[in-house]
Structure 1
Amino acid sequence: MHTSWLTAEQYAQLSTQVQGAFIAPLPAFETLLISGPDNRKYLQGQTTCDLDQLQPENFLRGAHCDAKGKMWSQFHLVSDGEQLVVLAFRDELNASAAQWKKFGVFSKVSFASGQQHYAVFGIGGSDSEKLIKQLGFSVPAPGTLSRKPNAILLGLADDHFMLLIAQAEAQPLMQQPLPFAAPTLWLAQHIQHGFSYLEQALIGAFVPQMLNLQALDAISFTKGCYIGQETVARLKYRGGNKRAAYILTAQTDEVPAAGTDIEVQLGENWRRSGQVVNAANINNRLWLIAVLPNDTTPADSLRLSSDSAPALSLQPLPYSIN
């Protein structure tokens, strides 16, 4: 944890036992600030989302791929005046930033870490609308955002939000009598909504459709060319993608690392079927989002590839991937 707005003592006191609405600091999520007259044009040729659709009142989900269509990152994109703000998990943001900076020398665009500008929080839980109003925001519908001076609130889904707030205001916020919770509580909810992010072990491993980004409005199939576009479009129009992201649960105290294998039972044998993408454990209930064959059904017997090999139960996705 490398942050000036959250102390180690504050972090250690955060709990997963908060009931109802909560606010959780997310120090592993960071921002990249992209400036310059070509910033929108540049990202339009680099990402799966359509920058022409980005307005002050909304945000975009998108992915950044290599030439083969494999993802460096998936992210949320916000406009802040003439500046663009990319919000993502630290590992994937660093991977994309390195690539964007490498090729950005040919455009009128500049990049700066947002780590000293913004702190990131997650808000969720039942009755989160009351907490949001207490913080002085109107409640944004999914896909939209709410602003107040030095702060932006993104509506990811019902009762699931991300807050960008100026560093100078993050420390006073942490002193308020609010229902602060551990990041794990928000991350478990993130998984339950069918969202994911890329940790270091899986950067460059998946095309966007393998993480259901077409179902999350993170891919524009009408915007024109971008890096990796040929592969992404071919999977839509010609088929061929055989994998998708699924939500799984288990009763265990384990928290598997990204990339851990998931196995399926075939007769008396077990064989590798997929990989863990993200995991969170609340009170010995493990929540996973994992990439599996897209014909996986609840009838399949699945387990985590670990010493205890807990059985995994497939949960319904909150959206259609067909």
Structure 2
Amino acid sequence: MHAFHSSIPVRAEGCAQIAPLDDFLVFAASGADALGFLHGQLTQDVTGLPRDAARLAGYCTAKGRLLATLVMWRAAPGADDAPQLYGLVRQDLAQALLKRLSMFVLRAKAKLAATPLHVAGVTASATDVAALEAAAGALPREPWQRADLPSGTWIAAPSADARLRWWWIASDEQLEQSAALAGALGLAPAAQWHAADLAAGIPWITAATQDVFIPQTVNLDLIQGVSFTKGCYPGQEVVARSHYRGTVKRRMAYGTIADAAIQGQALAGMDVYDASQPGEPTGRIVDAASAQGAVSVLFETTLAALPEGDLRLGAADGPRIAAAALPYSITP
């Protein structure tokens, strides 16, 4: 944790909340061919990405299974060897992702490398925004909009409720010059931010869930994470076939487990069962987080198991998963 974050006291009320996200990493893609190279590797339309916005994207195997999901955004215009694009990914798979992508650069003028940038999640209620913006500057409000400010890059994150959320990406220098911001913030645990990500239906692939899901089964196509009009990328044929043939019978749903003893961070990849139809698993946990006395989960399952299924974690008689609505529709 950076000293800036350590200097912020825990204040649960009356101010915006900041959660240092040390389990995330930002990488940079630089070089004259960087955008074109990643356009041919990811599910997103990289070359069409607006300069004032960020987008979700996936990186797949040739069989269409996700090796990573990432939030990506264009860098400010600069020299050919300057960063052209940034990506936010989970720390536990970042190095393997960069190594694999770099294998396919070949003669392209592109370089991928981890950055030392710091990542935090900032959450504010409508009454706390004014004090936050007085210190940080005018912040983007619509999900996926982005602003480059003296304090760093701010990306508006989707939210399942009325609160406003941002990913804040900053350098050491930017944090050191943000003392005024510290006074407008209260320190919160990372799990609290992760739980809000899950409620918003944002699917983060981790090392435990690599090569398991296709983009549609984690709803990536429902939240602007897949372009069906761009050219080829690894797994594109599988992803497109599922889309155009209407064969998506599995989706990602959200739920909670009322058991504070369960450690959410250890659940990714675990099987989900339907107690009304014991036997084979009906799905798997995509991601989970423990916060405020409960466990929030995103899980992939058959559409038939929703909403009436008696869903359980790990076994047909395991802890009950209470399904809840996502902020977007998952049914045709």
For 1:220, the aligned partner's letter is S
Aligned to 1:93: 94
Q: Which moved more, 1:226-235 or 1:19-28?
A: 19-28
For 2:130, the aligned partner's letter is K
Aligned to 1:301: 310
| Aligned counterpart for 1:280 among listed residues 278, 289, 293 | 289
Aligned to 2:80: none
Are residues 111 and 295 of structure 1, via their aligned partners in 2, closer, same or farther at CA, if it must alter by over 3 Å? same
Question: What runs of 5+ residues in structure 2 fail to find an aligned partner?
Answer: 78-82
Distance 1:126 1:166 in 2: 26
Are residues 130 and 271 of structure 1, via their aligned partners in 2, closer, same or farther at CA, if it must alter by over 3 Å? farther
Are residues 206 and 15 of structure 1, via their aligned partners in 2, closer, same or farther at CA, if it must alter by over 3 Å? farther
Aligned to 1:170: 175
Partner SS, residue 305 of structure 2 = coil
Partner SS, residue 52 of structure 1 = coil
Alpha-carbon displacement from aligned partner over 1:85-121 (angstroms, at most 9, x marks no partner): 111111333332111111113211112211x2x1001
For 2:303, the aligned partner's letter is N
- Poorly superposed stretches of 4+, deviation over 4 Å: 13-20, 171-175
Matched, 1:255 2:263: yes
For 2:182, the aligned partner's letter is Q
Contact 1:59-1:143 within 8 A present in 2 as well: yes
Partner SS, residue 143 of structure 2 = coil
Aligned to 1:126: 125
**TM-score scaled by length of structure 1:** 0.89
Q: Which moved more, 1:288-297 or 1:126-135?
A: 126-135
Are residues 20 and 279 of structure 1, via their aligned partners in 2, closer, same or farther at CA, if it must alter by over 3 Å? farther
**How far off is 1:171 after superposition?**
5.2
| Aligned counterpart for 2:39 among listed residues 30, 40, 44 | 44
Are residues 250 and 85 of structure 1, via their aligned partners in 2, closer, same or farther at CA, if it must alter by over 3 Å? same
**How far off is 1:272 after superposition?**
1.7
Distance 1:86 1:110 in 2: 13
Are residues 306 and 215 of structure 1, via their aligned partners in 2, closer, same or farther at CA, if it must alter by over 3 Å? same
Matched, 1:152 2:161: no
Partner SS, residue 120 of structure 1 = strand
Map 1:194-233 onto structure 2 (within 5 A).
Answer: 194-233=201-240
Question: What runs of 5+ residues in structure 1 fail to find an aligned partner?
Answer: none
Distance 2:257 2:190 in 1: 20
Contact 2:279-2:316 within 8 A present in 1 as well: no
Are residues 18 and 106 of structure 1, via their aligned partners in 2, closer, same or farther at CA, if it must alter by over 3 Å? farther
Distance 2:279 2:63 in 1: 31
Identity %: 25
For 2:174, the aligned partner's letter is E
**How far off is 1:81 after superposition?**
2.2
**TM-score scaled by length of structure 2:** 0.86
Distance 2:103 2:182 in 1: 42
Contact 2:29-2:86 within 8 A present in 1 as well: yes
Q: Which moved more, 1:31-40 or 1:293-302?
A: 293-302
For 2:288, the aligned partner's letter is A
Q: Which moved more, 1:297-306 or 1:249-258?
A: 297-306
Aligned to 1:265: 275
Distance 2:253 2:55 in 1: 22
**How far off is 1:44 after superposition?**
0.8
Partner SS, residue 198 of structure 1 = coil
RMSD: 2.6
